[in-house]
Structure 1
Amino acid sequence: MSGHIAQDWEPVVIRKKAPTAAARKDEKAVNAARRAGAEIETVRKAAAGSNKAASSSTSLNTRKLDEETENLSHEKVPTELKKAIIQGRTEKKLTQAQLAQLINEKPQIIQEYESGKAIPNQQIITKLERALGVKLRGKK
């Protein structure tokens, strides 16, 4: 046995899928009409290949949203909680970044809680209570 490896260097040509019989038939008819000198008019369908069922239900959803009068918004951090976090942090002489590191969260989260922009998360509030030694929830 020899240790030679043969390589096949023949070019490989990849082509698009061949047109279907119906498409070829239409194409032949169009070409024949062109040769005969007939005027050919092409029509482009506006919503071809779209999901019409989904588009009709959209108008229903939009109407429901327009009729909705209730003001929906996320729950924000209450003022008492903001003040308690700030007070507890300053008593321990911690910066927002140091407190965030203590509870394994990003400094941005502490900043959001203290500014009142955060959406309250019970797990984070529990971590803050442990780190600051202050009760932040329930009766004080």
Structure 2
Amino acid sequence: MAGIGPVSQDWEPVVVRKKAPNASAKKDEKAVNEARRAGGPIETIKKFNAGSNKAATSATGLNTKKLDDETEVLAHERVSADLKKNIMQARLEKKLTQAQLAQQINEKPQIIQEYESGKAIPNNQIIAKLERVLGVKLRGGKK
């Protein structure tokens, strides 16, 4: 290779040392121990919430109590019995399987299964696609 000069390697050992331990921390520890032995006053500083989870539990303690006192049952709206029956009837009239219908509306077959079993959370876009492909008004009477 022309243009590249001789490459030399430095074989001298490189010594990497850690920094000396913090001398002031040892002094403080030593001073506290000496003061304890002498019976003199010891000044310590308590750090706020040091090493504890107190702040997190006190904040959630209130919310947990509110949740425990809550009596209202909250659940997502599910597909109505009429809608699931209409989807199934329209699909069977067109002689389509759930997988074929799902492919036509560009969704997973599992979506159709959930709608027909009543487990799905209603999505107006999916219902509109079903109405267009099946040629039936699912939320009301027939077209």
Q: TM-score, normalised by structure 1?
A: 0.71
Q: What residue number does 1:128 align with?
A: 130
Write the mapping of 1:105-124 to structure 2, written as runs, cut at 5 A. 105-124=107-126
Write the mapping of 1:58-97 to structure 2, written as runs, cut at 5 A. 58-97=60-99
Q: What residue number does 1:37 align with?
A: none
Instruction: Name stretches of at least 5 consecutive residues in structure 1 with no aligned partner.
Output: 34-46
Structure 2 Cα separation of the partners of residues 96 and 136 of structure 1? 16
Aligned-partner residue type, residue 59 of structure 1? G
Tell me the CA shift for residue 25 of structure 1.
Answer: 3.1
Aligned-partner residue type, residue 98 of structure 1? Q
Runs of 4+ in 1 over 4 A off after TM superposition: 3-15, 17-22
Structure 2 Cα separation of the partners of residues 13 and 50 of structure 1? 37
Q: What residue number does 1:103 align with?
A: 105
Q: TM-score, normalised by structure 2?
A: 0.70
How big is each residue's C-alpha offset from its partner over 1:80-131, in whole Å with a ceiling of 9 and x where there is no partner?
A: 0000000011011110011111111111110000000111111111111111
Q: What residue number does 2:59 align with?
A: 57
Return closer, same or farther for 1:70/1:26 CA change in 2, 3 Å cut-off.
same
Tell me the CA shift for residue 73 of structure 1.
Answer: 0.7
Return closer, same or farther for 1:4/1:107 CA change in 2, 3 Å cut-off.
farther
Percent identical residues? 69
- Residues matched between the structures, number: 123
How big is each residue's C-alpha offset from its partner over 1:6-41, in whole Å with a ceiling of 9 and x where there is no partner?
A: 5667779696x86545434356x29x98xxxxxxxx
Question: Pairwise CA RMSD of aligned residues?
Answer: 3.0
Aligned-partner residue type, residue 109 of structure 2? P
Structure 2 Cα separation of the partners of residues 4 and 70 of structure 1? 82
Q: What residue number does 1:42 align with?
A: none
Instruction: Name stretches of at least 5 consecutive residues in structure 2 with no aligned partner.
Output: 35-48
Return closer, same or farther for 1:18/1:108 CA change in 2, 3 Å cut-off.
farther
Aligned-partner residue type, residue 125 of structure 2? Q
